[in-house]
Amino acid sequence: MKKNYIYLMVLIIILCSAPLRAQDDQQLEKEIEELLAGAKSSEEIKRPAPSSTGRYFQSLNPDISVIVDTFYQRDDSKEGIAHIFEETEGFGHSCTAGHHHGPDEGFNMNHLELYFSANADPYFKGWGVAAVTEEGAEMEEAVIQTTALPHGLQLKFGKFFSDFGRINPQHAHSWDFSDQPLIYRLTLGTHGLNDKGIQASWLMPTDFYLLAGLEAFQGNNEVMFNHIGGDHLSDKSGPRIFVGWLKLAPNLANVNHAIQFGTFFSRGVHQEEHDGNTDGTYDHWLTGHSKFGGFDFVYKFDDLRAYGVGDITVQGEYFQRRKDLTVENHDLNTALIGRDKIEKQDGYYLQTTYGFLPRWRVGVRWDRIGMINDIDLPPGTSSSPDGSDQLALMVDWTLSEFSRLRFQYTDGDYETEEGKEDVSRIFLQLQISLGTHGAHKF
C-alpha cells in the first residue's frame, strides 16, 4: 500500500514536471525571441549576420597579367658581351651569322610580357604569352592543355617551352639571376627551347613524385636545332626535334626539405650555313643532327619563417651536346662535300640563394662551359679549345609579391677566337607584375 503511494507520487511528479519543463523551455524561447526581435529593430547589431557577402564569383574573363622588366647593364669589354658570346670557342658561330642578340650598355628592357590564361571548358585550359619588344610582338607561348585526362596523363599543344631542365620552362622574370647561365645562353640562345609542337606527360602512380614527358617540336631553334633548307640544304619535314624527360622527387620526411632530380635527352635536325672567306655571302652549308642531354637538380630548404627568411635554394644543371654534321654544299671547295664536322661540348652551372632578411636574398652562381670542347672540322683537322667560366653574385629585394629590385655582378673569363677575354658586368634590374597573382611553380 505504502509502496503504491510512493509510485503514485513519483508518477505525479514526473507528469507535472514534464509540461513544467516544456513551459520553461517555451518561456525561454519567447524571451530570447523578444530579445532578438528588439535587437533587430534597433541598430544594435554590432556584427554582420552570417551572409554570403563578398562570395567570390569567378568571372568568365581570362586572368591577365603584365610583366614590366627593365634593367641597366654595363660591361668592360670592348665590343659588348653579345659579341663575346658570338665568338666563344666551340659555342659561337653556330647560328646564322650576323645575329647579335644581346643587351646594350646602359638602359634595356626585357620584353613586356602579356599573359592571358583561363579554363576553356571542362576539358581544356589555355594560355597565351605575348612578348612585346620595341621591334614588335612575338608569340612566346600559345598553349592548349588538357585538364580531364585520366591516370595522370596530360597533353599540351601549341607553342611552348620544353619542360626539360630547371630554367628552360621558366619565363625570364622568374629566374633567380638577371641573365641566363652560359650553358643555356650558348647552346639554345636567349629564348631557350621554345617551339611549336606537342607534349605528352604522365604523372606516374608511384608513392614519390615521378613525371615523364615526351615532346615533338617543329624544330626552329636558331642555335642548336636550326632548319634552313632552301637552295643549298635539303628540306626536312617536321617534327624535327624530339625530347624526352623525367623528373623525380623523393618524399622527404622533414617538411623543411624538398629535392627534385631531372634528366633529359633530345635529338633534332640541325643545319648551318657559313661564310668561310668572310666576303659577306654564305659559301658552305652543313646538315645533320644535334643531340642534347643532361641532368638537373634543385634542393630547397624552407625555414618556415615569414617573408622567406632563412630559406635556401641550391640548383644545378649539367648538359652535353653533340653536333653530327656533314658538308652538303661547298662553293669554294667541292672536295669537302660529304665530309663530317663533329662537335662535342658540355657545361654546367651551380647556383644558390639565401634569404638573409625579410624579402631580401643573396645568390651566387658559378658557370662553366667547355670542359669537353672537341671540334672536328671537315678538312680532317680537329681542335679542343679551352672552356669559359663566369661567376655571378646577386642580391635582390622583393618589395612585395609584385615587385623586385635586383643587383647583379658577373665576372667571366671567356675563351674566344681572339683570345681570352676577362669581362665584368653589372646589372641593376627592376621588375613589376600587374594583374592576377600568379602561383609559383616549385
Find all residues with CB under 8 Å of 228, minimum gap 6, and list them. 96, 271, 272, 273, 285
48 binds other proteins (CB under 8 A): yes
CB of 364 to other proteins, least distance (A): 21
**Beta carbon nearer to other proteins, 107 or 307:** 307
54 binds other proteins (CB under 8 A): yes
Q: Which of 269, 293, 278 is nearest to 332 (CA)?
A: 278
147 binds other proteins (CB under 8 A): yes
CB of 139 to other proteins, least distance (A): 22
255 binds other proteins (CB under 8 A): yes
Q: How far apart are CA 242 and CA 92, in angstroms?
A: 24
How many CB atoms are closer than 10 A to CB 40? 11
40 binds other proteins (CB under 8 A): yes
Compute the C-alpha angle 301/303/309, nearest 5°. 105
404 binds other proteins (CB under 8 A): no
156 binds other proteins (CB under 8 A): no
Segment contacting other proteins by CB under 8 A, of 5-13, 146-154, 278-286, 416-424 = 146-154
Helix (H, G, I), strand (E, B) or coil at 233: coil
**Beta carbon nearer to other proteins, 116 or 282:** 116
* Residue of 307, 335, 417, 424 that binds other proteins (CB under 8 A): 307
Interface of this chain with other proteins, residues 181 to 210, rule: CB under 8 A = 203-210
* Residue of 31, 76, 104, 418 that binds other proteins (CB under 8 A): 31
Query: In angstroms, how far is CA 81 from the centroid of its own chain?
Result: 24
Cell numbers describing residue 220: 626552329
* Residue of 104, 121, 401, 422 that binds other proteins (CB under 8 A): 401
380 binds other proteins (CB under 8 A): no
Phi-psi region of 242 (alpha: psi -120 to 50; beta: other; left: phi over 0): beta
- Strands (DSSP E) contained in 204-339 are 209-217, 241-249, 257-274, 284-301, 312-330
CB of 260 to other proteins, least distance (A): 6
**Beta carbon nearer to other proteins, 23 or 147:** 147
Q: Which of 224, 283, 242 is nearest to 93 (CA)?
A: 224
Q: What is the dihedral of CA 75, 76, 79, 81, to 10 degrees?
A: -40
Q: How far apart are CA 84 and CA 422, in angstroms?
A: 10
**Beta carbon nearer to other proteins, 34 or 76:** 34
60 binds other proteins (CB under 8 A): no
Compute the C-alpha angle 230/233/235, nearest 5°. 70
Q: Where on the chain is the footprint of other proteins (CB under 8 A)? A: 28-29, 31-32, 35-36, 38-40, 44-56, 147-150, 152-154, 203-210, 247, 249, 251-252, 255, 258, 260, 300, 302, 304-309, 358-359, 400-402, 437, 439-442
